[in-house]
Chain A
Amino acid sequence: MKIREVARLMGAEVLCGEESLDLEVTRAFAADLMSDVLAMVQEEGVLLITGTVVPQVVRVAEVMSMGAILFVRGKRPSAATVNYAAEVGIPLLATDKIMFEACGILYSRGLLPAKRKALPRENGPRD
């Protein structure tokens, strides 16, 4: 799904990355916990849906080669964070919708969930 389409469906404000709106996000992963993003996302170009607005969110997206970030629940990152995202080329969108609604709409329009990598030792014996 094109980032432009994500923004349209979400009624989202484009905080940065206007020039990249015609790029595609492959799949989506929704979490407030960056630890989970770091441990579970395995593909590139994934849309990150989150209500966490600390500067490290953009750095996580950069390290994980994610396609774009959609901030939910009316949360907005700081201007410095937006500037950094613009610098490294990660489009940022912000919607007032809660995460559940944002995910529901995008899923119903065909955006697929990111494949989740099993946690280390997830399938091992419980001790």
Chain B
Amino acid sequence: MAPATKALYKQVFPVKSDLESAGKVSTEVRRILRSLGVEPEVVRRAGIVCFEGEMNIALYTKGGRIILIVRDDRVELLFSDRGPGIADIDLVKQPGYSTAPDWARELGFGAGMGIPNMEANSDRFAMYSRVGVGTVIRATIFRRCHETCGGNRAPGT
């Protein structure tokens, strides 16, 4: 893994277990990235990753937080929550697998695409979870990806 460059910007956003405000962090993250002059395609991908992660925290957990770190060469989004945790991570990475309750589906979410979509829009994606404790996700999106990694995916991921 290439050494990370110095953080140009860092902010921590609390995320409540509350649907009413879900999505606010993502739109704020988008505005921050734009104001920092981050490339539009990176802003777009980061916005999607952040929104999916934020919805997951709001819909399924007891609350958590999102940390945005902007570096010269990458945007990092760190998601953490206070449970309930995920027993089988391979399963939630499968498109269509969902534990969403009916009420979430009625709102237009919970189709089992959130985690796969986060992974698809990230260059690096790591997820750790412990049942009863919580889940942590680190999603990295490279800037000027064409120069540094020659494609959507970083080497070795």
Contacts and interface: CB of A to CB of B under 8 A. Distances in A.
B95 A121 contact: yes
B126 interface: no
A119 B30 contact: no
Given A32-B108, A56-B55, A57-B108, A120 B116 contact: yes
Query: What does DSSP make chain B's interface, helix, strand, loop or mixed?
Result: helix
Interface residues on B, range: 20 to 34
A116 to B, nearest CB: 13
B48 A63 contact: yes
A38 B44 CA distance: 11
Contacts of A35: 108-114, 117
Interface in B23-40: 23-24, 26-27, 30
How many interface residues does chain A have, given as a range? 20 to 34
Interface string A21-44: 000000000001111101100001
A121 B107 contact: no
Contacts of B117: 35, 38-39, 120
Contacts of B23: 55-56, 59-60, 63
A121 B119 CA distance: 11
Interface string A78-90: 0000000000100
Interface of B: 19-20, 22-24, 26-27, 30, 44, 47-48, 50-52, 55, 94-95, 107-114, 116-117, 119-120
